[in-house]
Structure 1
Amino acid sequence: NSRFEPPEAVPSPFQYFKMLFTDEMIEHIAHHTNLYSAQELGDPIKTSPEEIEHFLAILLFMGVFDFLRRFQLLRRYIHFNDNQQCSESRDRFYKIRALFEMLREQCLLIPSTHKHSVYEVMVAYKGTRSGTLRQYIANKPDKWGFKLFCRASSSGIIHDLLLYQGASAFFNVALKPQMSVVFCENFFTSFNLVQYLHTALGVKCIDLIKRGCGACNFRAAEGVLAVKWFDNKCVNLLSNACGIMPFSTVKRWSKESRAKITILCPSLISAYNELKGGIDLSDMLVHMYKTPAKSRRWYLPLFGHILDLCIANSWLLYKRDSGLQNEKPMSLKRFCLAVAHSLNHSPPPEKTGYISRPSRPKPQTDVRYDNVGHWPLHCEKRGRCNLCPKGVSRWKCEKCNVFLLSSHVCCSIVSLAADVIHF
């Protein structure tokens, strides 16, 4: 029989693990990960052995707990409409249409000014399973994808959106025009269209066909003004909303004098430049913390865009309301994390400095007062009350995960007195 000498003390599980998966192996992985990333990207990702250890920990967690498998299962079967009814619909965006219409209804409810910009937005998708729904626009950062027509105010808030599917794009859209000024580019503009919008619908338009230095010429007919202005290049405009007066001045670089010179600028240009940036602002915010939604199923990127657009719009509304209250708004990143933690019913991590004992984070307000699942949980070890500096208790709220004395309340409780439920 084999005999083994007993150790002086039993090492920890981590020490046993490091007997086999040595520091040398971890350093080897870090080195070759940096080497491979430099070969592929031109610049290493600069990982470290410590970060590789964190990476291994995540892999081990995934092997023990089933949350990743559950996430993959949800992602595999998440759906937005009944496939069995798909063949009966002439809507080519049937699989995602219901969700988009729900979002559109909410966007239309947002109060806005009477000045809007209309532009095309691309939702990136390089696959081929969507057929001719996928479009190509050469001057876009995302050249391949689904095209949306969006209407936004200058603040960047999207107030309306439309999925483009060719000639049938407007099959389910009811036009309800109001007196407005719409700023759009040449894709949406022709003389007959501008005239029709003015006479039939009362909608004012300003169009800038090409970017272009100070001479100006114009002609007017049937309520529509055509203007040619020379910037660095020729600029052509159509408008039934405002004219060329009063002129303002702008600075432009002159190759001849090798300095910036002052030139005259018609009021249409100033108005267009002031209001046209709403769509660009919204697009930038959507791409800052973009939801990863790559998939063979073509409608999942559109679902990701819905989620990102809701975050961008809601943050802009929050920022506007904070300004009205003279309060400093949180950043888009912290706002996004706060929404995520509220969806997850867990408190967000708080910044901690160099202190001996970090404070226990408080749950989000909408989690604290949702009246769901705040039950007392008795613990073997006592914990410090979350709401006072000296008190300790063996009871904590199961959902909020904070200790508290019987006289303190961490959250709202449905139909039960707080001193009873938290005692």
Structure 2
Amino acid sequence: MGHDQRDTLKDEQYYTPFYHNTMVRDRFFHILRFLHFENNEAPPNRDDPEYDRLWKIRKIFNNLNSKFCELYYPSEHLAVDEVIVLFKGSVFWQYTPKKHKRFGIKIYKLCDSLGNTYDMAVYLGKQRKLATEEITSTHGIVLQLIQRVEGSGHKLYMDSYFSSPALYDDLLERKINVCGTICNERRGGDESGHAIKPHVIEDYNAHMGFVDKSDRMVNSYGIARRTWKGTKKLFSHLLDMTILNAYLLHKSCDGKMTHKKFREILVRDLILQSRISRSVAFLGGRPSSPGAQVSRLELIH
């Protein structure tokens, strides 16, 4: 659906046989309705000091983060920045007036020169506390994102939102070289109150846009829809990001196809595998109608 952007699936004017031949529309809506990643009937205690606002999708988020690092090693030059997943209904949505997408879920990303997302973290508010540490500042966010590349001599680029002399000192101790802009009023400047700006502006401009590059590619064929809940909206973004990372991994191995072609082949392969699985399952008898399958789905839930 990311290749065929439309406002509705119900208008005959936008009818496309490919979708109907793959899955009945009502079944798709039912699957989307009942798509959950945790047991909502047993939520964690909100008064718990270690309460995680992302608990409904935390397992998938952490699993993807681990796989990104396990299957790919980033290039020498890295960039850390924030992106906004457009959404207004979540309990941890952010308003960022300087961004094109002003309302949404804020995600901090560490990307390399190809645009591959190597690590990420969702902003959950100042009260978020993990079992091991509390992340309340941009300083801590950067240290969290670079944990898996410490001691390898990477070069990291960031803007003034993250930069501070204290952070640069910490990163240097971890054998990570840093380049970025900095605000004059940022704490930790010289005695005159003016921060010292680096003179490698050309180098900064050449490498700072890695996260923006990744975000543009992710949104090129995005599957998200306005009516989805916060967890589903975030899941759709993670799914698009995972497909992009898979494509960039293919490209790094001298793959020649385009991003769009890669996604199209992926879709057809998934449909083919699904049909093979159903054929094997139906060897014991006649398959039931799609309407009966939807009715059973409603009964179960």
Q: Tell me if TM exceeds 0.5.
A: yes
Residues 109, 120 of structure 2: 8 Å contact kept: yes
Q: Is the counterpart of residue 278 in structure 1 residue 210 in structure 2?
A: yes
Query: Could you say which residue in structure 2 is the equivalent of 1:108?
Result: 69
Aligned equivalents of 2:109, 2:75: Cα separation in 1 = 16
Say if 1:371 and 1:66 are closer, same or farther in 2 by CA, change over 3 A.
closer
- Which residue of 2 is the match for residue 208 of structure 1? 181
Shift of 1:371: 9.7
For 1:191 and 1:168, the matched residues in 2 are separated by 25
- Whether the 8 Å CA contact 2:111–2:211 is kept in 1: the answer is yes
Deviations 1:135-180 (A, max 9, x none): 0111222110000110001111110000111235562677453333
Q: Matched residue of 2:161: which SS?
A: helix
> Conserved in 1, the CA contact under 8 Å of 2:160 and 2:181?
yes
Aligned counterpart, 2:160: 186
1:164 aligns with 2:114: no
Q: Tell me the matched-pair count.
A: 243
Aligned to 1:332: 259
Instruction: Confirm or deny: 8 A CA contact 2:52 2:129 kept in the other structure.
Output: no
Does residue 306 in structure 1 map to residue 250 in structure 2? no
Higher strand share: 1
How far, CA to CA, are the matches of 1:336 and 1:286 in structure 2?
11
2:31 counterpart residue number: 74
Q: Give the AA of the match of 1:123.
A: V
Counterpart secondary structure, 1:312: helix
Quote the offset at 1:202 in angstroms: 3.0
Q: Which amino acid aligns with 1:207?
A: G
Q: Which amino acid aligns with 2:26?
A: R
Who is 1:134 aligned against? Answer: 93
Q: Secondary structure at 2:169's aligned position in 1?
A: helix
* TM-fit CA distance, 1:330: 1.5
Question: Are the counterparts in 1 of residues 108 and 122 from structure 2 also a CA contact under 8 Å?
Answer: yes
SS in 2 for 1:146: strand
Q: Structure 2 vs 1, CA of residues 65 and 337 (structure 1 numbering), >3 Å: closer, same or farther?
A: closer
CA separation in 2, counterparts of 1:73 and 1:209?
49
Q: 2:76 matched to 1:149? A: no
- Structure 1 runs not aligned, ≥5 long: 1-44, 46-52, 211-219, 228-235, 238-265, 324-328, 347-366, 378-423
**One-letter amino acid of the structure 2 residue matched with residue 114 of structure 1:** E
**What TM-score comes out, normalization by structure 1 length?**
0.51
CA offsets 1:59-80 (integer angstroms, 9 cap, x no match): 9x97x99811111110000011
Q: Check conservation: 2:113, 2:210, Cα contact below 8 A.
A: yes
The answer (yes or no) to whether the contact 1:117–1:276 under 8 Å persists in 2 is yes
Go from structure 1 to structure 2 and tell me whether the alpha carbon gap of 1:69 and 1:285 turns closer, same or farther (over 3 Å shift): same
Pairs within 5 Å for 1:43-122:
55=13, 67-88=24-45, 90-109=51-70, 110-122=72-84
Letter in 1 for 2:261: R
**Pairwise CA RMSD of aligned residues?**
3.5
Give yes or no for contact 1:293–1:300 (8 Å, CA) kept in 2.
no
Mapped partners of 1:330, 1:56: distance in 2: 28
User: Deviation at 1:287?
Assistant: 0.9
- Residues in 1 aligned to 2:104 and 2:131: alpha-carbon distance in whole angstroms: 22
Q: Percent identity?
A: 26
Question: Are residues 74 and 316 of structure 1, via their aligned partners in 2, closer, same or farther at CA, if it must alter by over 3 Å?
Answer: same
Shift of 1:113: 2.3
Report the CA distance shift for 1:119/1:170 in structure 2 as closer, same or farther (over 3 A).
farther
Compare the two structures and name the one with the higher helix fraction: 2
- Over 3 Å counting, the alpha-carbon distance change for 1:315 and 1:181 in structure 2 is same
Secondary structure of 1:95's counterpart equals: coil
Q: 1:198 and 1:56, CA in 2 relative to 1: closer, same or farther beyond 3 A?
A: closer
- Counterpart of 2:294? none
**Unaligned regions of 5+ residues in structure 2, if any?**
1-5, 133-143, 184-188, 284-301
* Other-structure match for 1:257: none
**1:151·1:160 contact (CA, 8 Å) conserved in 2?**
yes
1:195 counterpart letter in structure 2: D
In the superposition, the TM-score normalised over structure 2's length comes to 0.70
Separation in 1, partners of 2:221, 2:23: 26
Paired residue type of 1:70: R
Query: For 1:338 and 1:172, how far apart are their aligned partners in 2?
Result: 41
Residue matched to 2:224: 292
Cα distance change of structure 1 residues 57 and 318 upon mapping to structure 2, 3 Å threshold: closer
CA 296–156 in structure 1, closer or farther in 2 if over 3 Å, else same = closer
- Assess, with a 3 A threshold, how the Cα gap between structure 1 residues 57 and 279 changes in structure 2: closer, same or farther: closer
Q: Which has the higher contact order (CA 8 A, sep 6+)?
A: 2
